[in-house]
Amino acid sequence: MGQIIEFPASNPALPRGARSDLPYRNASDLIARESFPSAVFFLASGMFEAHKLAPRSAALFATQQRWLLSHAAIAHFFRPIGAVKPGLSRRSLGVLGPALGLSSRNTAHTFFDEAMKYGVIQPVDDRVIGHGSLAKPSLESLSLLVLWYNLHFQALDLLDDGQRYVQFSTQWEDLLRLIQPIVADSLFFSPAVREPGPLYRIFSWIDSGGWVMDRLIAGVDRESFLAQGRCFTDVRSIAYLARSTGLSSAHTSRKISEAQSIGGLGWVGRPGHSTMWISRDFYEEYAQFQAQKLAILDGALAKALAGGVSAGQGAHHCE
């Protein structure tokens, strides 16, 4: 991804019925496939490695709240959501956060300010950005978003030998603007995404907690997968887990203890000095969350392709 993409400041508003007719399969159908665990392990490994490429930018999206806010921001940039003023700005995100039930106005403003500070977004022009001034995603953040989509489409292809990754990666400049508003809208209104299970929630609402889960799932021993109702991992040290995800050892230890107290994980031997295992419930909550995302992305891509994508679609150009 070496191109510089210039997108317009705004696009037509997202129709309110856009989320009602997605052609994706049920998440349960994906989970039932024999190859689904392989897709889950692929996603966990890919997403854990991906955050290393741009840790500062990735850290901005490292909680469930910020992850959903980022999807709202980029979706609104491509196609305004509802009646909120077109174009991504501090003011528009401050309206979207409360409207979508994602955050307070102040939290959304803080998120916008941090995104600007760390170059995740940048001004549309050279003027000093103000409360209503328009911003756009930086090339680095767009690259991370495209990588996120590529990983998920590759995971879907593992389930049925499909061609989603090729279709998206060869047309991403046209497809991204079509897919992102559909995906974001579906994520906001998915109970499985907004209200994941208790073990998933322990980690998803702390900084870098998602990466802790990704690392645990990525480290599962495939040969003994779900033996005796447990998944044995290659993690043996809380200190290592903390270093690899950017959390403090004390904070990581507290969250591990919290998950352990409700049976989500444990140690084969001496805590902190032996192999860690995660429970079937932990794996299944994680897998359910991934399945819901995959179903949403599968439908969004199918809908975009069915609508037709041409090289000239959209008011943008590459240099």
pLDDT tens across 34-87, in order? 999 999 999 999 999 888 777 777 766 778 888 999 999 999 999 888 777 778
Average pLDDT in the 184-206 region? 90
Q: Is the pLDDT of residue 128 over 60?
A: no
Taking domain 198-284, whether its CATH number is 3.40.50.2000 is answered by: no
Comma-separated ranges of CATH 2.60.120.10 domains in the chain: 198-284
Question: In degrees to the nearest 10, what's the CA dihedral of 178, 64, 296, 100?
Answer: -60
Q: Read off the pLDDT band of 281 (50, 70, 90).
A: very high
pLDDT, mean of residues 249-271: 91
The CA distances from residue 226 to 145, 155, 190, 230, 284, in Å, are 32, 21, 28, 5, 10
pTM for this structure?
Answer: 0.86
Q: Which residues contact 153 (CB under 8 A, 6 or more apart)?
A: 164, 165, 167, 168, 169, 297, 301
- Cα–Cα distance, 30 to 24 (Å, whole number): 10
**Residue 121: pLDDT over 80:** yes
Query: Could you give the C-alpha distances from 261 to 175, 257, 264, 304, 317, in angstroms and in order?
Result: 44, 6, 7, 45, 53
Task: Answer for the pair 217, 111: CB distance below 8 angstroms, yes or no.
Answer: no
Model confidence pLDDT, tens digit, residues 144-170: 999 999 999 999 999 999 999 999 999
Q: How far apart are the first and last CA of the chain?
A: 12
Per-residue pLDDT, 151: 96
Q: Mean pLDDT across the chain, nearest whole number?
A: 84
Residue 263 corresponds to which amino acid?
G
